[in-house]
Amino acid sequence: MTSERRAASELQAKLRSGEFVVTAEITPPVSTDPAEFLRRALPLKGLATAVNVTDGAGAKVHLSGLAAAHFLVQSGIEPIFQITCRDRNRLALQADLLGAASLGIHNILVLAGDDPKLGDQPQAKPVYDLDSRGLIAMAHEMRTRGKLPSGTEIQGKFNLVIGAAELPVDPQPGWEPKGLAAKIAAGADFVQTQFCMDLEVVRRYAARLLERAIKLPILIGVAPIPSARSARWMRDKLYGTRIPDEYVLRLEKATDPRREGRKICVEVLQGLAEIPGIAGAHVMAPMNFAEIPATIEQSGVLGRKRRAAA
């Protein structure tokens, strides 16, 4: 979508305004009762601009992300519907995109999805009819043309804000953001990244992107880490995660590691708000959801204008 067109969501409006944006992420429970999910999500109302709803995170079954995102809409919280290529062919993906729009869900985050072999039902067969770039391109074509890839016209409004996922890297000489550039070309509107608590890496990464005229809004993944053990597990098990040794040491020495983890995340959020080229942060805390609202509030970054590139 061009910047001249009316924003399709509050997330898109704030990203365009130059405000430092904070999003969060909630995993739906294994339940038919939305009460537990809403208990996790409602404290984020008025803090996070939008809340991601995971889609089979860890290749494990949870309450449908589409249903959970709809519960957020009903509760006055703007959702970001995560949609993976792992579980659906292109027909089902198109149907879910239409379903999302019909339920008032306008933000999506396109993901490949975790390999089923890593989950608790490893016999499950992955689909991967499209890869993430292919799904971004298909969703972009649907919103631009107002038609399915088959040519069938889409009735009603179909406004999507398309997100892509990326791994921040410490750019070496000669490194080029080819993957990110390809997702932009496919139609991505914003990016959310894997955990990167290393501000120096983010500075170098953002500077390289600006050198290459990559100006897509990027939200860096951060976490209030509850213990040194959790930090080590994240670094070892979650591909692309960056947590400096100094933070692990602080967690080890802390008399209250959970409070120290929140303090570290607050510091990182404040640092990110000062880095030119970074549009915001994406706060994730699997199994530690209660820490997210306090972390965002204590950071004091809400409403700040982000740093413009020199």
Cα 230 to Cα 237: distance, rounded to the nearest angstrom:
10
- Point out which residues pair with 118 in neighbouring strands: none
Task: Note the pLDDT tens digit of each residue in 49-88.
Answer: 999 999 999 999 999 999 999 999 999 999 999 999 999 9
- Pick 10-298's CATH classification: 3.40.1280.10, 3.20.20.220, 1.10.3720.10, 3.60.15.10: 3.20.20.220
Q: Spell out the per-residue pLDDT of the chain, length 310, in tens.
A: 444 578 999 999 999 999 999 999 999 999 999 999 999 999 999 999 999 999 999 999 999 999 999 999 999 999 999 999 999 999 999 999 999 999 999 999 999 999 999 999 999 999 999 999 999 999 999 999 999 999 999 999 999 999 999 999 999 999 999 999 999 999 999 999 999 999 999 999 999 999 999 989 999 999 999 999 999 999 999 999 999 999 999 999 999 999 999 999 999 999 999 999 999 999 999 878 999 999 999 999 998 888 776 5
Burial annotation 42-65 (CB, 10 A radius, 16+ → b, else e) = ebbeebbbbbbbbbbbebeebbeb
Domain layout of the chain by residue ranges: 10-298
Cβ(225)–Cβ(251) under 8 Å? Answer: yes
